[in-house]
Chain A
Amino acid sequence: MGETFLLELKHISKYFGSVAANRDISFSLKKGEILALLGENSSGKTTLMNMLSGIYYPDEGQIFVNGEEVVISSPQDAFRHHIGMVHQHFKLIDIFTAAQNIVLGPGGKGYGVRRINDEVRAIAEKYGFEIDPKKKVYDMSVSEKQTVEIVKVLYRGADILILDEPTAVLTPQETEKLFSVMRAMKADGKSIIIITHKLHEVMAISDRVAVLRKGEYIGCVETNETSEQALTEMMVGQKVELNIERPKTTFDKPILEIRNLCVRSDEGSRAIEDLSCFIRGGEILGVAGIAGCGQRELCEAIAGLRKVESGGIYHEGESIVGRSPKEIAARGVAMSFIPEDRLGMGLAPSMSITDNMMLKNYSDHRFGIRPLADKEGDRPFAKRCRRALNRVGAFVDRHCPFVDRKSARAEAERVIKELDVSTPSTETPVRRLSGGNVQKVLLGREILTDPNVLITAYPVRGLDINSSYLIYDILNRQKRAGAGILFIGEDLDVMLELCDKIMVLCHGKMMGVVHADKTGKEQLGLMMAGALDLAEEKGKPMGVAKDSQIGEDGTWNA
């Protein structure tokens, strides 16, 4: 062996049942380099890294650290070999301070408060972190928590750091800060594996890129010898057009208007504060904001699932506050919310696709009993009998106790065909489908009802590139058909291309609405962080349409 690698994987495989999460993966990591592990969702990136950090144990293959074979069967083993992982979901204890969280765990060197604080500060200074060792975790922002996680790993003496999608929860500015820290760590001789599926970040930070596709290792390239387009092709396995269409439509009247909306979260704090906005028919309004800024509460309030504390929501000029979810849906407001676990709102995970299709209309099924028609020249008694019979028939019909799986199955088949859902059958439980297909089923059902307002939150969360583009296409089709779309998204690049306007939320407050073609990531990032408040700056209330359908007294003045 000419060159000794710091870390080497040889023929690693991991199976979950019949599914190969990783198949025969071999790659290596040099000392002092940043390796980006790139792949679409479900391509096995996290599984692979979990095997390095001792969460999973590989079914086949060997791991070498500094040229020697090692067995990593627990996180302690991983630390013994100086491998540390920062997980996507933080594993911190909320009521402890940063320092306390950092010293927790195996290989602790005692708990002297002052010494720990000093050590933490020393690490922070060395790499340029900003950290307050005495701050409690529950007081921290997401990026501060992430800093604690990274320092924790460094404190335990890791030489190989694995960062699992660290930028997913950060604003563009915070991401830049993280990257400078990563460069400082690299200069100090640490090796970093960063998992991501954002291409421009890969180009910005990494030295080399390893690409996984469907659990298989595709190859490794030097970052400065490749391009975003080439990487995408490696990732997807075919040529992909990377442009999102933004069709021009004639904007209609405001179809959904929200005025001074206040909503509380489950914990009782204000999740949405004094928010006003409107959506016109034929436009896509994007909602940007870091995770947990009231997006969920906003969706739930519109769909009628959450109590509105004050303010109004008007659909076609009529208030829908206090209406039941069913009534709101009947007006043509459809919601598809993809939560972090991708199942949950709007879907019943262990039910079949068919059963999920009839979620909104199962109660409308009737026997189909037709009333008997009156005949000419009947005696009055016969007429009365027939009328009574008809009344009984209508009653029975209205109270039909059965569900109609047959037409639901037909709908399921239609959605499967039109949106290209890959599933063994219509009777497969939804949670057995892969993420993308779950989303297609959910979105497909909502579109089946021809909504005039479509609320969609994170519709491409966890989707591969092809499926994402298919979803954008579906949304654009709805837009052309004149529906107003509220698009709550994560990826600013996508939103800038797809949406007509973007509203930025910061801790439930609206920071302003901007035209997507007249703004940039910088501005959005500042607004997301709360540093720039356009609503305040311009000194006029934003989010109120000039041609509002709501009158002063809240009634419709068409």
Chain B
Amino acid sequence: MERVKQPLIHISKRAPMPLWKGLCIRFGAVVIALVISAVFISLSSPREKGFFDFFGSLFSGAFGTERRFWLLLQDTALLLCVALALVVAFRMRFWNLGGNGQVLMGCLACAMCMHYMGGKLPDGLVCFFMIVASIAAGALWAVIPAIFKAFFNTNESLFTLMMNYVAMYLVALFITLWNPMGTGAMAPISDANLPTFGSGIAGKTLPIVLVAVIVTAFIYCYLRFSKHGYEVSLVGESKNTARYAGINVKKVIIRTLVLSGAVCGLVGLLLVGSINHMVSTTMDDNMGFTGIMVAWMGKFDPLIMVGISFFINFLSRGMSQVCTEFGFTSEALSDIVVGLIYFFFIGCEFFIVYKVHFNFRKRGGWEEPDFTMDDGEDEPGNTPDGGMADAAKDACADRPDLPADADGGQTEGGNIDG
């Protein structure tokens, strides 16, 4: 007689859970991740530091001094702006991976204005040109792939990605033009800096935070209440439906990417004109990619994204302080810990969408645990709009034990019925 073997782990879909419960799970995941990190860091530290020192350093790195606090706000504001720029395109399912390039082009355009006009024209006029040029340059870098997408249906992900490198080398080219010594770095330009509220760190950061607040409010309203926002979502949903609604799809694609690039260009303007007064090839600080994470983790909602970008910057600033205080010379450890926290934070989405049952009933034994996954897409109904849920789904949709013919159609959006 064949032994009856129950699968050890059985996964099924949950009913949508209330908001507070989901928040508790996410918060719990972060706490667990931090505790594990703390143990890991304090054990491997060459210095005599304990478990609780980890949390002390983490928070002091982020909020310890007035300067640190304002820098945290500044980084949050910049990252948020980039993420908001991307989310406009993402809502249209246009995967703009060229945030870095668009920011860099904004930086470059701003630096060009400062370099060529600074000192020759009144500062106010130069500032005006800087603003216009940066925004236009960012928009240009986004609209080129958009035009190709609209008219020739090229792959926007690859196109925008490649544009990043073009932008980077353009910046490198201009730096060598301006600094023939070949050090690859540029001296700060003292003319034509954007206005600040006083000379302190708070006064310098406040305008940037203000810009971020305005951009957030604008993008939120744009996506939520405007006809343009409605068209963006509609084109993202289905181009055919959009055409049926009388929308000129090409126009919407191009217009949306102009906006997306313009906001990135604005970040470039702030980076050069207000913060650094010079340009370098790494000035974008990879925000174009971190912004993608912010957008997805924020479920494309501008308001949630505010929290996410704050959280991400809190971690990275806090962790670098932890590394200094615990005596690690390499940044790698900080990256590992940040990665660990992301892992928990994103991974917990799986448990928000699915329920896991363990079968420990001994019925004929379970020496060979059989990892049966119920793929979650059974029902178009319950999937939340989160990308993380999709990621989790991808992970479990991969069933190596199924022959090709039995998988496919049934798992992809099959309904309960026939």
Chain A residues within CB distance 8 Å of chain B? 15-19, 21, 39-47, 50, 53-57, 59, 68-71, 73-76, 87-89, 91-92, 104-106, 164-165, 195, 197, 215, 303, 305, 324-326, 329, 335, 341, 343-351, 355, 358-360, 362-363, 365, 400-403, 405, 431-432, 435, 462
Q: Does B48 contact A (CB under 8 A)?
A: no
Please tell me if the beta carbons of B415 and A46 are within 8 angstroms of each other in the complex: yes
A87 to B382, CA, bound (A): 24
Q: Report which residue of B1, B5, B241, B402 has the largest number of chain A beta carbons within 10 angstroms of its beta carbon.
A: B241
Interface segment, B28-36, B116-124, B226-234, B312-320? B226-234
Q: Does B390 contact A (CB under 8 A)?
A: no
**A403 and B241 in contact (CB under 8 A), knowing A16-B13, A16-B382?**
no
Query: Chain B 1-40 against A: per-residue CB contact (8 Å), 1 yes, 0 no?
Result: 1101111001011111000000000000000000000000
Please tell me if the beta carbons of A345 and B240 are within 8 angstroms of each other in the complex: yes
Chain B residues within CB distance 8 Å of chain A? 1-2, 4-7, 10, 12-16, 225-230, 233-234, 237-238, 240-241, 243-246, 370, 372, 374, 378-382, 385, 401-406, 408-411, 413-418
Please tell me if the beta carbons of B417 and A47 are within 8 angstroms of each other in the complex: yes
Please tell me if the beta carbons of B372 and A57 are within 8 angstroms of each other in the complex: yes
Nearest CB in chain A: distance from B385 CB, A:
6
A75 to B372, CA, bound (A): 12
B6 touches which of A71, A89, A343, A402 (Cβ 8 Å) = A71
A contacts with B: majority SS: loop
7 A-B pairs (CB sep. < 8 Å):
A46-B414, A46-B416, A87-B410, A348-B234, A351-B234, A351-B237, A402-B225
Q: Which residues of A contact B406 (CB under 8 A)?
A: 53-55, 75, 91
A-B contact count (CB 8 A): 180
B379 touches which of A17, A39, A197, A360 (Cβ 8 Å) = A17
Please tell me if the beta carbons of A325 and B372 are within 8 angstroms of each other in the complex: no
**A17 and B227 in contact (CB under 8 A), knowing A41-B418, A53-B406?**
no
Q: Which residues of B contact A15 (CB under 8 A)?
A: 12-13
Please tell me if the beta carbons of A19 and B416 are within 8 angstroms of each other in the complex: yes
Please tell me if the beta carbons of B418 and A91 are within 8 angstroms of each other in the complex: no
Please tell me if the beta carbons of A74 and B234 are within 8 angstroms of each other in the complex: no
Q: Report which residue of B6, B227, B417 has the largest number of chain A beta carbons within 10 angstroms of its beta carbon.
A: B417
A431 to B233, CA, bound (A): 15
**A341 and B413 in contact (CB under 8 A), knowing A74-B372, A91-B408, A432-B381?**
yes
Residue of A nearest to B248 (CB): A324
Nearest CB in chain B: distance from A23 CB, A:
12
Nearest CB in chain A: distance from B357 CB, A:
8
**A350 and B415 in contact (CB under 8 A), knowing A325-B243, A345-B241?**
no
Q: Which residues of A contact B1 (CB under 8 A)?
A: 68
Residue of B nearest to A168 (CB): B418
A105 to B401, CA, bound (A): 12
Residue of B nearest to A74 (CB): B401
Q: Which residues of A contact B416 (CB under 8 A)?
A: 16, 19, 21, 42, 44, 46-47, 215
A94 to B385, CA, bound (A): 34
A194 to B14, CA, bound (A): 31
**A351 and B2 in contact (CB under 8 A), knowing A16-B379, A57-B7, A87-B410?**
no
Please tell me if the beta carbons of A75 and B402 are within 8 angstroms of each other in the complex: yes
Residue of A nearest to B229 (CB): A403
A335 touches which of B13, B244, B411 (Cβ 8 Å) = B244
Please tell me if the beta carbons of A50 and B15 are within 8 angstroms of each other in the complex: no
Please tell me if the beta carbons of A17 and B15 are within 8 angstroms of each other in the complex: yes
Q: Which residues of A contact B2 (CB under 8 A)?
A: 68, 70
Q: Report which residue of B15, B381, B404, B406 has the largest number of chain A beta carbons within 10 angstroms of its beta carbon.
A: B406
Q: Which residues of A contact B14 (CB under 8 A)?
A: 17
**A403 and B380 in contact (CB under 8 A), knowing A46-B415, A359-B241, A363-B246?**
no
